[in-house]
Amino acid sequence: MVALLGTNALALAIPWVLKDAVDAIEGGAAIAAVGRHAAAIALLAVVQGVVRTISRLLILGASRRIQYDVRQEFFAHLQELGATFYDRNRTGDVMSRAVNDLNLLRGLYGPGIMNLLNTAIVYVAATVLMLRLDVSLTLASLAIVPVLLLAVNRLSRRVYHRSREVQERLGEISTRVQENLSGIQQIHTFVQEAREIAEFRTLADGYRGANLGLARIRGWMVAAIGVFSGIGMLIVLVMGGRAVVTGRMSFGDFVAFQAYLAMLTWPTVALGWILNTFQRGVGAMERVDEVLAEVPDIPPPDRASDPERRLRGDIEFRQLTFAYEGPEDGVRRPSLHGVSLSIPAGSRVALVGPVGSGKSTLVNLIARVYPAPPGTLFLDGIDVVDLPVAAVRGSIAYVPQEAFLFSRSIRENIALGDPEASDDDVERAVGLARLARDVERFPEGLGTVVGERGVTLSGGQRQRATLARAAIGDRPILILDDSLSAVDADTERAILNELDGVMEGRTTILVSHRLTTLAGFDRIVVLDDGRVVEDGSHDQLLANDGLYAHLWRRHRLEAELEAR
């Protein structure tokens, strides 16, 4: 602010010195006197250029620091938001807010703020100096300003709505591109390139149309400002020229007045750009704030909490009913109904049931992927909502249904949960997951970088890599959510045998559709339509001749048909 005041004070001083120089020439002053005025103008211009550069460095530098801080906060907040948020929001739209909207924020806090302050200073100071030169001429030349501001204000409202539409359409395009790149193999496999290109063209046409609409409004705004500025110059030329001819105003005063009015031309023209920048910046800020205002459904881990705290592994559900967030109609349809289940520490329990029966939902609640209602889930006898999130998740080795790998080395992916793990620990986990032979064939062994989402590995290799990730460390609870579905039954049985030592003393929960691999488990819990319908050993459940027995007979029949 101080630098802007300085640069404008120096700029406003130049016309005043020019006025004195013109009056001196008219008065027949010596060449030396005129030269001193010229030197003063040159010196003022040089100093003003230096101060202006300093002001721009300070303000534009601050805008980049603001953008940096907001981006850091935005990313940290995304890390704290739970699965519910990502179920509701598309990745491409979140990326658009993190990149494009934050760039607009930088424009708001940098050039936007700078030009707003600069315009205010120039308008106030130049008007005061113009009033000192001639009050009536100043009032006449600025009489159209209220009309101009009214027109610009009406147009700026439309700029805001158009800017918001442009950002939302850009978010749609970002989402489409992200989905296409992630699913490019499926697009190629089903020969859908032409269809995707056509749909992308439709989105691009909408984005272009919104941008052209915004450009039209901005064009009208700039044109209106230019017209009004030209009218002001015409008024000054007519009235000021007459004042000079009649002797009411000196020629030096007229020149200075014209210079000050010219100094108002750019701020007036820039007013439309400033309002557009502010409207777009405000729209971007609202989109960023929509994410920052999201409250995590599960309190994020306290960075000051003790990361070494571990649970024993007792798990108990008490009349748990859970529903995911409903679709647009707002109706929440329960996925689990009145589930009561006790799993003692160190026991091995298998969850089975038809597709959609709630098995994955149950283990997701244990791992705090989704929030369990208070008073329904207890770990070590303590309500899970009262336990630190870091203590819960730090006590669970969880292998989800969808094997996800980062575009990093195999070693880094396996050691994700324990970055300090030694090479021996990683190699032991690789052996337990029966991935050693595959690793040997990779060009750089454990140092081989896998593609995005592990695309360069087969489905079975990805699953075994995530299984190796869970085998590192001594976390007391091990959850395997149908994590071996991409390997054959013999490999699954061999891996479970290898993991027998890892499961020793741990509370192990296995979700599986292959019932023949469950012989070594203490209990089998059968779910159907979100309810626990059977609970017991393999032999007990077969003797009951219920849903489990039905699933078992069907599984055996499928295995016999495959063997033929």
Residues 268 and 229: their CA atoms lie apart, in Å, by 7
Same domain, 25 and 128: yes
Per-residue pLDDT, 464: 81
H/E element, 86: helix 83-88
Cβ within 8 Å of residue 338, ≥6 positions away = 319, 320, 321, 531
Exposed/middle/buried for residue 258 (C-beta within 10 Å: 0-12, 13-18, 19+): middle
Per-residue pLDDT, 272: 66
Per-residue pLDDT, 277: 79
Same domain, 409 and 384: no
Q: Do residues 159 and 221 lie in contact, with contact meaning Cβ atoms separated by under 8 Å?
A: yes
Task: Note the pLDDT tens digit of each residue in 515-527.
Answer: 877 777 889 999 9
Q: How far is CA 85 from CA 43, 168, 292, 327, in A?
A: 59, 18, 12, 13
Residues 557 and 542: their CA atoms lie apart, in Å, by 15
Provide the CATH number for the domain around residue 60.
1.20.1560.10
Q: Tokens at residue 240, please?
A: 């000021």
Exposed/middle/buried for residue 24 (C-beta within 10 Å: 0-12, 13-18, 19+): middle
Among 425, 450, 474, where does a domain finish?
A: 474
Residue 352 phi/psi, 5° resolution? -130, 165
Per-residue pLDDT, 374: 92
Exposed/middle/buried for residue 287 (C-beta within 10 Å: 0-12, 13-18, 19+): buried
Q: Do residues 482 and 512 lie in contact, with contact meaning Cβ atoms separated by under 8 Å?
A: yes
- Residue 82 amino acid letter: G
Same domain, 240 and 388: no
Instruction: Confirm whether 306 is domain-assigned.
Output: no
Cβ within 8 Å of residue 340, ≥6 positions away = 317, 318, 319, 320, 532
Per-residue pLDDT, 486: 60
Same domain, 103 and 149: yes
- Concatenating the DSSP letter of every residue in 485-518 gives TTS-HHHHHHHHHHTHHHHTTSEEEEE-S-GGG-
Same domain, 280 and 264: yes
Q: Do residues 276 and 230 lie in contact, with contact meaning Cβ atoms separated by under 8 Å?
A: no
Q: How far is CA 8 from CA 17, 50, 58, 195, 273, in A?
A: 15, 12, 16, 57, 20
Per-residue pLDDT, 205: 92
Q: Tokens at residue 545, please?
A: 């001749």
Q: What's the total number of domains in the chain?
A: 3
Which of these, 201, 185, 83, lies nearest to 453 by C-alpha position?
185
Residues 408 and 280: their CA atoms lie apart, in Å, by 37
Same domain, 132 and 22: yes
Provide the CATH number for the domain around residue 466.
3.40.50.300
Instruction: Confirm whether 358 is domain-assigned.
Output: yes
Residues 237 and 258: their CA atoms lie apart, in Å, by 8
Exposed/middle/buried for residue 330 (C-beta within 10 Å: 0-12, 13-18, 19+): exposed
Same domain, 161 and 250: yes
Q: Within 13 A of 194's CA, how many CA atoms are on the CB side?
A: 1
Per-residue pLDDT, 319: 93
Instruction: Confirm whether 52 is domain-assigned.
Output: yes
Residues 330 and 534: their CA atoms lie apart, in Å, by 32
Same domain, 325 and 459: no
Per-residue pLDDT, 422: 82
Same domain, 358 and 505: yes
Instruction: Confirm whether 561 is domain-assigned.
Output: no
Among 459, 474, 489, where does a domain finish?
A: 474
Instruction: Confirm whether 437 is domain-assigned.
Output: yes
Q: How far is CA 124 from CA 9, 18, 22, 45, 257, in A?
A: 11, 20, 25, 21, 14
- Residue 51 amino acid letter: V
Q: Residue 49: give the domain boundaries.
A: 2-292
Instruction: Confirm whether 328 is domain-assigned.
Output: yes
Measured over the CA atoms of residue 494, residue 499, residue 504 and residue 510, the dihedral's sign is negative
Residue for token pair 């324990």: 418
Over the chain (564 residues), the average pLDDT of each successive run of 10 is: 86 84 75 82 90 88 89 89 84 83 85 82 86 85 76 72 81 82 74 86 91 84 75 82 83 83 73 75 87 84 58 91 70 81 90 88 89 91 88 86 81 81 83 81 82 72 82 84 71 73 82 78 89 89 88 79 64
- The C-alpha angle 549, 553, 558, rounded to 5 degrees, equals 145
Per-residue pLDDT, 562: 63
Per-residue pLDDT, 320: 92
Instruction: Confirm whether 551 is domain-assigned.
Output: no
Same domain, 98 and 220: yes
Per-residue pLDDT, 132: 86
Task: Record the pTM.
Answer: 0.71
Instruction: Confirm whether 299 is domain-assigned.
Output: no
Same domain, 30 and 177: yes
Same domain, 468 and 501: no
